[in-house]
Structure 1
């Protein structure tokens, strides 16, 4: 639900902007494609490895705490047994009378001064023990530092290079989409630090298996966005700029809520710079960076090709794409849950638990995909008027419905397998397999775009998701990499 909340807010954005006109919705579609491409390249690797690393560290810390507790209990047991042996020896030596006198004297002393053994230091010690101890998770501090730095860099990149990036996406200087697209992109870029920080913190909470906190924060921010949209777009007459400002404010609210909650649970200031896991993050982060570039470049290229078809096809493509991504992210929620559980299971070396978790999320993912296919197909076929009143745009949307709905089961399986591989820390395979999938998909995009236009683009996107699902099935199906134990 947390993963789907933001795309749902984007859908509502799309519905409000669609009331302005097809040119504006097409322009915003191009801008969102650019923003999402850069954001995913910057943050997706960080979020994915943060969830796995935090889950592993939290599990190891819990196991160490339990081991120390067992050791202390064993020491107490040994101490009690030793004391019993001493008492038995005293009894055998006939010293019970002396012990009784000592005990009697001790009891009289306690009665005379009942508070003698309860000092202020003992009371303060008990109070401190009752306070919940903050966790020491180095991965959390490292993730936040990377998120802040990457967010600032993304803002500078999008503000300074907005014009060339839009031109690269097919919005040339004479296009009517240029002005609204430029306004939306530069304003939306100001929220990049908040977006990256909030996603990094969500990765930390998911590693703790706490999915409620990110949900509450995201819903609070997105409700703010939905409330501000009509006020800024129509009442204040800011148009697409108002939509961008509403989105930026909502992202900063989400970040603030998550930061306050995280500071209550985790020591965010590490004891030293050495405690920060830069090398581990960079090594696995670069692997996933290649995966994300390969994955998102296919979707971004599809949006760019749709923009070249004109404002009307691009408007229809943007609506179909937002619905496609929103519904698919529900399956990604299962992937995140599976990732956290599987990462903990691998840290415990509990391979039976890892296998059971993987099997269950795959079953649930497939069932969810079938349900989404029916829901999205009917909803988009009969509810496209929610997003636009333009007859031509609605006609093109009906052409895309079979692809948007039909690929839902495939999308669900592909996303779930991503989570399974991340949970097993199989980042290298995820990266290299995605690069091969992207090469084939990009080739099919160009070929099918020239021959089929709008339909060709969606056929190529369907091929892209199908190849992603096959890559995931291959890894577990062959029992290779971290899943070698499945062959035994």
Structure 2
């Protein structure tokens, strides 16, 4: 049985792994290209990326919630219903994307100024963010369409689109940043154009499947509203995660003592955060499999199978974290030079990466358990768990700076307090039975959070 589970996990996780590796390469390629423009553009990219990822990250429920609900319908044998819910999710992504773009562009200067960086860094951040926000709607559509395909147990198509989109992003960045001499603005435009192309490709696949099964393509307002209500708890959960990352960047910013130190710390933090995100996506491949498999098993009413496959995925997560941690530690002395010519940034980066490497095994287990509970539709618990974790971490991060610490101490707090608290909260929940609810509907969607 364990071998069959391993094959099933690998069938979903390997393509998801490759797709998730390709996704953060949007930022890694931007960081590599922009980094050679200078320290201020790289630091500005760091601030803009945090804001953009926060806006888009709040809507990750479009992928996660859709994966779980589509997988439940698939497990129950209702493919048409699965695609109907998926189409509703895509329309919801369009509505949220248009609204988020309008708000974000209007308040770009306010958002980047809130970090308190110097004028040079702030100007670079505003230039990048104002353009990059135009890609919000295609990014959210990509999330929703990817969630539909994952729920249908198809992780290969998102892989092909991610690889093609990233390749296009690199080409466009090089042409616009250096060929057209647009600087950091060219990097933003390249990413937006690549995101539009990727979204169009994913939507075409979902539409073809919906037509084959006779699922409606027009907006169904009742279905869209239901998808929004179902995703509310996951929004709260994601908001707490993004808030923790914002607190981390803010703590790094105020921890610097001079303008030069601030630029160096922010640039090193941006590189460390980009690499951490890259590895998080790597580890999240098993979590993606967990979402799809948990939803399908529970939709089919198989509690014992859900427990068994969860145990296997936890083991996979732990050992994957060991591998990524050892790899990051080994490469830490040379990674900085790939992204910046500033020796001070490269030197400061090494110790931070060693701290991040030590936390990788914990991250591997955390991401798997998070995926299992998302696949089970246990969003309400995840929301409350996120609030508890944030309440523990935010004071620790700010106190580490108040006590005279800087970039390194903030990352220690992030690794030990934030990831450690998440591990404890998720393990406690996974050991119980409250999340093991079977059937198409899943757990009750209403809660005190709503």
- The normalised TM-score by structure 2 is 0.88
List aligned pairs for 1:60-75, cutoff 5 A.
60-62=76-78
Aligned pair partner of 2:32 in 3, 12, 15: 15
Which residue in 2 is equivalent to 1:75?
none
Equivalent residue, structure 2, for 1:473 = 427
Q: Secondary structure at the match of 2:285?
A: helix
Match of 1:193 in 2: 137
Indicate the SS of the match to 1:276: helix
Q: After the TM superposition, which residues 71-470 of structure 1 pair with which residues of structure 2 at under 5 Å, given as runs?
A: 137-171=83-117, 175-267=119-211, 269=216, 273=220, 276=223, 278-279=225-226, 281-308=227-254, 309=256, 310-451=262-403, 452-462=405-415, 463-470=417-424
Is the contact between residue 91 and residue 219 of structure 2 (CA under 8 Å) also seen in structure 1? no
Q: Is the 8 A contact 1:377 1:405 kept in 2?
A: yes
1:182-216 CA distance string (max 9 Å, x none) = 11000000111100001110000000010000010
In 1, are the aligned partners of 2:30 and 2:173 still within 8 Å (CA)? yes
Q: What is the Cα deviation at residue 12 of structure 1?
A: 1.7
Kindly state the Cα deviation for residue 136 of structure 1 after the two structures are TM-superposed.
6.3
Q: Does 1:33 align with 2:57?
A: no
The DSSP-based 3-state class of the residue aligned with 1:191 is: helix
Deviations 1:65-96 (A, max 9, x none): 9xxxxxxxxxxxxxxxxxxxxxxxxxxxxxxx
C-alpha distance in 1, partners of 2:219/2:325?
A: 50
Q: Matched residue of 1:305: which SS? A: helix
Q: In the alignment, which of 66, 91, 112 is matched to residue 50 of structure 1?
A: 66
Native 8 Å contact 1:141 1:276 kept in 2:
no
Answer yes or no: is the 8 Å Cα contact 2:332–2:354 preserved in 1: no
Change (3 A) 1:238 1:196: same
Cα deviation 1:380-411 (Å, max 9, x = unaligned): 22232101111111111012122121111111
Q: What is the distance in 2 between the residues matched to 1:18 and 1:185? A: 16
Whole-angstrom CA distance in 2 between matches of 1:214 and 1:51: 13
- Higher mean alpha-carbon deviation, 374-383 vs 361-370, is at 374-383
TM-score for the superposition, normalised by structure 1: 0.81
Give the match for residue 11 of structure 2. Answer: none
Aligned residues of 2:21 and 2:281 also touching (Cα < 8 A): yes
Structure 1 residues 484 and 136: alpha-carbon distance in aligned structure 2, compared to 1, 3 A threshold: closer
**Structure 2 segments unaligned to the other structure (5+ residues):** 1-17, 257-261, 439-450
Shift of 1:274: 6.8
Can you list the C-alpha shifts for 1:126-171, whole angstroms capped at 9, x where unaligned?
xxxxxxxx77622112101110011111111111000111111223
Unaligned runs of 5+ in 1: 66-133
SS of 1:53's partner is helix
* Contact 2:298-2:436 within 8 A present in 1 as well: no
Q: Is the 8 A contact 2:83 2:148 kept in 1?
A: no
Alignment check: 8 A CA contact 2:88 2:219 kept: no
Measured at CA, do residues 190 and 272 of structure 1 come closer, stay the same or move farther in structure 2, by a change above 3 Å? Answer: closer
Q: Deviations over 1:298-322 (max 9, x none)?
A: 1112112223321111000000110
Q: How many corresponding residue pairs? A: 410
CA distance in 1, matches of 2:216, 2:435: 33
Q: Measure, in 1, the Cα distance between the counterparts of 2:166 and 2:60.
A: 20
Q: Distance in 2 between matches of 1:435 and 1:383?
A: 34
Which is greater in Rg?
Answer: 1
Per the alignment, in what secondary structure is the counterpart of residue 222 of structure 1? helix
